[in-house]
Amino acid sequence: MKSLKLLIFSILLLIVSGLNAQNTAKYVFLFIGDGMGDNQIYATEIYKASLQGKMTPEPLVFSQFPVQSYAITTSADSWTTDSSASASAMATGNKVNNHEVGIDPVTGLNYKTLAEKAKEAGFKIGILSSVTIDHATPASFYAHEKSRGDYDKIALQIASSNFDFFGGGGVHSLGSIDDKNSVISSLTNNGYKYLTTAKEIENLKKGDTKIVAVNPGTYSGKEFYWEIDKNPKSISLAYFTKKSIEILDNDKGFFIMVEGGKIDWASHSNDLASAIHETIAFDNAIKEAIKFYNNNKNETLIIVTADHETGGLTLGSNVSKGLKLDLLQYQKVSAQEFERSLSQLKKLERKVSFEEVLDSVKLNFGLGDKEKGLELTKAEKKWLLEAYENEFVALKKINPDRDYLDHYSKKPLALRVVTILNTKAGIAWSTEGHTASKVPVKAIGVGEEYFKSTIDNTEINDIILKVMQISNKQ
Strand partners, 110: 103
Residue whose Cβ sits closest to Zn ion: 83
Q: Does 50 bind Zn ion (CB under 5 A)?
A: no
Least spacing, CB of residue 83 vs Zn ion, in Å: 3
Q: Does 264 bind Zn ion (CB under 5 A)?
A: yes
Least spacing, CB of residue 37 vs Zn ion, in Å: 11
Q: Which of 245, 259, 32 is nearest to 132 (CA)?
A: 259
Q: What is the largest CA-CA distance in the chain?
A: 102
Interacting residues with Zn ion between 301 and 330 (CB under 5 A) = 307
Q: Does 283 bind Zn ion (CB under 5 A)?
A: no
Nearest-angstrom CA–CA distance, 107 and 96: 11
Q: Of 264 and 283, which has the nearer Cβ to Zn ion? A: 264
Query: What single DSSP character describes residue 235?
Result: P
Q: Of 34 and 391, which has the nearer Cβ to Zn ion? A: 34
Q: Does 45 bind Zn ion (CB under 5 A)?
A: no
Instruction: Give the number of residues in contact with Zn ion, rule: CB under 5 A.
Output: 4
Least spacing, CB of residue 309 vs Zn ion, in Å: 9
Least spacing, CB of residue 126 vs Zn ion, in Å: 20
Q: Does 269 bind Zn ion (CB under 5 A)?
A: no
- Torsion over CA of 175, 180, 185 and 187, rounded to 10 degrees? 20
Q: Of 336 and 364, which has the nearer Cβ to Zn ion? A: 336
Please answer whether residues 29 and 303 qualify as being in contact, where contact means their C-beta atoms are separated by less than 8 angstroms: yes
The piece of 80-88, 118-126, 326-334, 355-363 that touches Zn ion (CB under 5 A) is 80-88
Helix (H) or strand (E) holding 166: strand 165-168
- Torsion over CA of 237, 241, 242 and 245, rounded to 10 degrees? 170
Least spacing, CB of residue 385 vs Zn ion, in Å: 35
User: Out of 50, 73, 81, 83, which residue is the one contacting Zn ion (CB under 5 A)?
Assistant: 83
Chain centroid to Cα 452, Å, comes to: 23
The piece of 33-41, 50-58, 169-177, 184-192 that touches Zn ion (CB under 5 A) is 33-41
Interacting residues with Zn ion between 91 and 130 (CB under 5 A) = none
Q: Does 259 bind Zn ion (CB under 5 A)?
A: no
Q: Of 307 and 380, which has the nearer Cβ to Zn ion? A: 307
The piece of 8-16, 59-67, 257-265, 323-331 that touches Zn ion (CB under 5 A) is 257-265
Helix (H) or strand (E) holding 116: helix 114-120
Q: In 162-309, which residue ranges form alpha helices assigned H by DSSP?
A: 182-189, 198-202, 237-248, 262-268, 272-295
User: Out of 27, 28, 34, 103, which residue is the one contacting Zn ion (CB under 5 A)?
Assistant: 34
Q: Which residues contact 327 (CB under 8 A, 6 or more apart)?
A: 366, 372, 373, 374, 421, 424, 425
Q: Does 300 bind Zn ion (CB under 5 A)?
A: no
Nearest-angstrom CA–CA distance, 446 and 165: 24
Q: Of 34 and 104, which has the nearer Cβ to Zn ion? A: 34
Q: Which residues contact 169 (CB under 8 A, 6 or more apart)?
A: 129, 130, 131, 132, 133, 135, 214, 215, 218, 222, 223, 224, 261
Per CB under 5 A, residues contacting Zn ion are 34, 83, 264, 307
